[in-house]
Structure 1
Amino acid sequence: MVMIKELQSEKEILAAFPVVKQLRTHLDESEYLEFVIEAQEKDRYKMLALFEEDEIVAVIGFKPMVTLYYGRFVWVCDLVTDQKKRSKGYGEKLLTYVHEWAKNHHYEQVALSSGLQRESAHRFYEQKMDYEKVSYVFKVSLKK
C-alpha cells in the first residue's frame, strides 16, 4: 500500500533523511533537521513522504509563495525518490499531490528548479508532468 503523509515531528523529519540525502548530499543530519524546522517555521515549508508499506521511498518539500513574476504559486524545493525505488511513479504521485494541494489552496502555478546535470529529471518534468522551461536560475555564494 502507498500512502502520502506530511512530516512534522523531528522523528518523522529525521526518518526521511536517508532519502533526502541522495539529493542534498552536502547536508549532514543536524544541518538538515535545522533547515527543515527553520523553513517550516519561517517559510511555511511542507515536507511530505510517500510510504511504500512502512518505508519512506520518496520525499517532496514545497512552500507556497507570492511574487510579482508568478503571482500566487507553490515552489517545489526538493523532490527525490530513493535510488532503489525509481521509475515506479512515486515522483509523479508526489508532484500530483502538490498540484492538487496548490489548487485546493488557491495557488495558480507550481514551479521548481532542477540542476543542469539532471537530464533525466528534466525529461520527467517536461514529458511526464507537462512542465515548461521558462528561465535560468542564477546564484552567487556570499561565503568566501
Structure 2
Amino acid sequence: MSQDTIVSFDENILQLPSCLAIHTQLRPSLNRFELKDYVDHMQKLCQTNQSHICGIIRKTQSETIVLALAFYRIHPTTYDTIRFEVHDLVVDEKERNHGLGTQLFQYLIKQSKECGAPSLVLQCDLTNTKAHGFFFRHNLAISSFGFAVKTMNLLENPSHIKVMDITDSSDNKQLLIQAQDVFLQLRPNLSSDQNTYIGQIHHICQTGPARIIVAISNDEKKDILGLAVYRISNNIKYSKHIYCDDLITDENKRSLGVGQSLINFMKNEATKLGLSLIALDSGCQRGRAHKFYHRQGFHIDQFEFTLFY
C-alpha cells in the first residue's frame, strides 16, 4: 500500500536520489552535482527563508520516492506587494498525466493565498511547450517576458547624468520623496502618502535585501531623472545574478540616456561582485521598453505566466 503526500522538503527528502533525478529532468545543469553537492546547493538557496522547495512524495513499506517538486520564492516588491514566484515545477516523466501536476499546482495556489500574494507567478523556458499547455489549461496567462544579459559591456555613459546608490544614504528619505512622482509612473499601486511610500521602499530594501539607485541630472538642479531597484538573487537556472525589479525613466526625460546609465551601473556592480548575468521581466504590452532592452544587449529567454486572484 502506497501513499502520496504533498510536503515541504527537508534535508532527508533532498537526500533521496529520486529528488535529484526528477529535478534534473527540468534542469539538466544539475547533472554536474553529486547527490551531496545537490543537497548543499538547495539548502543554500533556501537558507534566506524566502526560497522554498516542496513536492509530492510516495511512501511504501520499503521506501520513499519523490514524484514531483516545486522551487519557489516569496518576497516583497513594488509591483505586487508580495510576490509568490515559482521557478521550477516538474513531475517525474514516468508519473505524468495522473493529476500530480494539478495537485502540486493547487497546493502552490493555497500557499500563495495564505501569504497574502495577489497572484501566483510562474517562470518557464521558451521551449518548454508542454508546460505552456499545462499552464494555459490551468487558467494562467503569459503576463511578461523574462529578459537576460550575459555580457557586461558598457555602452556610452552620458556625462550629464550621475547615478547614485541611495539605499544607505543619509539623504535617503529626501531623495525618495523627490523620486516618488517618477516611481509612481511605473508603479501606480505604491502609496501616494509619503510616509507610507517610504516605509514600503525601506521594507523592500531591508527584506529583499534590495538596492535602490537614482539617476540625477549632473547640474545645479539635481533633478531625479530615473531610478532602479535591484537585488542579488540566486536560483537554479541563473545561479547567482542581479535581478532588476524596477527600471524607470521619467516620462518627460526619455531618450536622454537615463535607462542606459542605470543599466551601466548595475553591469558595473555585477562585474565587481563576479556575477555574469542580469535579469529582469517586462510586461508583454511594453513594446517600447522591450526595444530598449534589446539595444542594451538583453534577450528574451523565458515567459512569465500569472494567475491573478
Aligned length: 141
- TM alignment of 1:88-107, pairs within 5 A: 88-107=256-275
Is this contact kept in 2: 1:71–1:108, CA < 8 A?
no
* Residue 139 (structure 1) shift: 2.6
- CA distance in 2 between counterparts of 1:7 and 1:100 reads 16
* Residue 34 (structure 1) shift: 2.5
- CA distance in 1 between counterparts of 2:307 and 2:210 reads 23
Q: Which of the residues 169, 185, 197 maps onto 1:32? A: 197
- Counterpart of 1:4? 163
- CA distance in 2 between counterparts of 1:125 and 1:91 reads 9
Q: What letter is aligned with 1:2?
A: I
Q: Which of the residues 44, 63, 86 maps onto 2:254? A: 86
* Residue 6 (structure 1) shift: 1.4
- CA distance in 2 between counterparts of 1:13 and 1:104 reads 26
| 1:83 partner SS | coil
Is this contact kept in 2: 1:36–1:45, CA < 8 A?
no
Q: Where do 5+ consecutive residues of structure 1 fail to align?
A: none
- CA distance in 2 between counterparts of 1:74 and 1:37 reads 19
- CA distance in 1 between counterparts of 2:161 and 2:301 reads 33
* Residue 22 (structure 1) shift: 0.6
Query: Which whole-Å deviations, capped at 9, do the CAs of 1:38-92 have from their partners, x for residues lacking one?
Result: 1211112111111013100111110011111110100011011111110011101
Is this contact kept in 2: 1:50–1:94, CA < 8 A?
yes
- Counterpart of 1:42? 207
| 1:26 partner SS | coil
| 1:36 partner SS | helix
Question: Does 1:116 find its partner at 2:284?
Answer: yes
Moved more, 45-54 or 28-37: 28-37
- Counterpart of 1:131? 298
| 1:21 partner SS | helix
Which aligned runs of 4 or more in structure 1 are off by greater than 4 angstroms? none
Normalised by the size of structure 1, how large is the TM-score?
0.90
- CA distance in 2 between counterparts of 1:35 and 1:106 reads 30
Normalised by the size of structure 2, how large is the TM-score?
0.44
Q: What letter is aligned with 1:45?
A: A
